Homo-oligomer: A and B are copies of this chain.
Amino acid sequence: MLPKRTLMGPGPSDVYPEVLAAMSRPTIGHLDPAFVEFMDELNQLLRYAFQTQNTVTMPISAPGSAGMECCFVNLLEPGEKVVIASNGVFGGRMLENARRCGANPVVVEFEWGTPVDPGKVEDALKANPDAVALAFVHSETSTGVRSDAEALCKLAQQNDCLSIVDAVTTLGGIELKVDDWGIDAIYSGTQKCLSVPPGLSPVSFNDAAMDKVKSRSTPSQSWFLDLDLLTGYWGPGAKRAYHHTAPINSLYALDEGLRLLKKEGLENAWNRHAANHVKLREGLEAMGLEFYVDAEYRLPQLNAVKVPEGVDEAAVRSFLLNEFNLEIGAGLGPLAGKIWRIGLMGASSSEKHVELCLHGLKAALA
């Protein structure tokens, strides 16, 4: 039997007991009329979480990385230009996806730990008037940085580009308004601020994005992620044609997680994430620890904390895991060894979690 951990890394976060219970409900058929009703209700809950009326709003049957790939393989055709604003691991992954689609990526790079600068993105869009899309990460999980999604989507619109937004670590944790901000295509994950086990990627596409999908001259390179085929199963429309077998029990879990979010209220959830971040920050600063990211760009749900000089960061993580059954995250890429990533996401964003983490770190650094 695996040990019971407290999850305060970059995800997965702790899962609500109600969600785990939902996941173990008896499996039903993926074409059962009762399940089709369930799908419609689930998608309605997703629209609430995304703050959108988009018809095409549904969970992809695979983790967030597949949600990213779904956006790229459907919205880009070979040779088409996409501007990618990259300020961490997931911007880099967008580039990989664009390349593998045979698209023509133009990357605007930003230092890790800093947000995407809309001014530089605007320059890139002006310099590349043939770009069809602008892609960026709203909440960069590798660095704990928030970029200004609203401003960036406005730039995309002004420059006749579709926006593709990574909201894997955003959804349920900080403000996100798909319709108000004019986001064209967005993907997220379940295992961050929704506190649902990993394995699904909620996505949403507006009419402009779906028009691009429908006007493709070639089918998407991915059969599994083809939006034309996926919408044949998920709707809109009464006929639900078999595409692949939906991951029924994972969908039960997502449904329950979204119900809990709705019960709490989206803004209340955002406020809770913000408040627990303040508590963690105060505690860390009292211990003399520093944040890696400037205050105004910090994600409350993902805290990048500098490893103090002379401290073996991996030893601290092992100590926390072994002595407290507490998981925090390591730095990635150029930040490996330099930061810890402390998640306060979903069920893991609570006063109790903040206290455990501070207590554990004090013991580790004593």
- A residues sitting closer than 8 Å to B (CB atoms) are 1-5, 7, 9, 11-12, 14-15, 20-21, 23-30, 32-35, 38, 61-66, 69, 93, 96-97, 99-101, 189, 191, 197-199, 219-224, 242-250, 253, 321, 327, 332
Contact = CB atoms under 8 A, between A and B. Distances in A.
A99 B29 CA distance: 30
| Of A9, A38, A189, A222, most B-chain CB atoms within 10 Å | A222
A249 B2 contact: no
Copies in the complex: 2
A12 B250 CA distance: 13
| Interface SS, A side | loop
A9 B242 CA distance: 13
5 closest Cβ pairs, A-B complex = A199-B247, A62-B62, A24-B24, A65-B244, A197-B249
19 contacts: A2-B28, A2-B32, A2-B38, A5-B29, A9-B29, A12-B245, A14-B26, A14-B27, A20-B249, A23-B23, A24-B24, A27-B198, A29-B327, A32-B327, A61-B66, A100-B219, A199-B249, A221-B222, A222-B222
B3 A27 contact: no
A148 B285 CA distance: 67
Contact of A29 (B7, B33, B224): B7
A12 B248 CA distance: 9
Contact of A100 (B3, B99, B222): B222
B26 A247 contact: no
Contacts of A97: 223
A42 to B, nearest CB: 12
Nearest to A96: B223
A23 B249 contact: yes
Contacts of A25: 1-2, 20
Given A11-B245, A12-B30, A61-B199, 8 more contacts: A2-B35, A9-B29, A12-B27, A23-B23, A65-B223, A69-B222, A97-B223, A199-B199
B101 A69 contact: no
B34 A2 contact: yes
A76 B196 CA distance: 35
Given A69-B222, A224-B66, A250 B199 contact: yes
A28 B244 CA distance: 28
Contacts of A61: 62-63, 66, 199
Contact of A248 (B4, B33, B197, B220): B197
Given A24-B21, A65-B223, A30 B198 contact: yes
Given A189-B245, A223-B96, A224-B62, A28 B5 contact: yes
A15 B26 contact: yes
A3 B23 contact: no
B245 A3 contact: no
Nearest to A94: B223
Contact of A321 (B32, B64, B189): B32
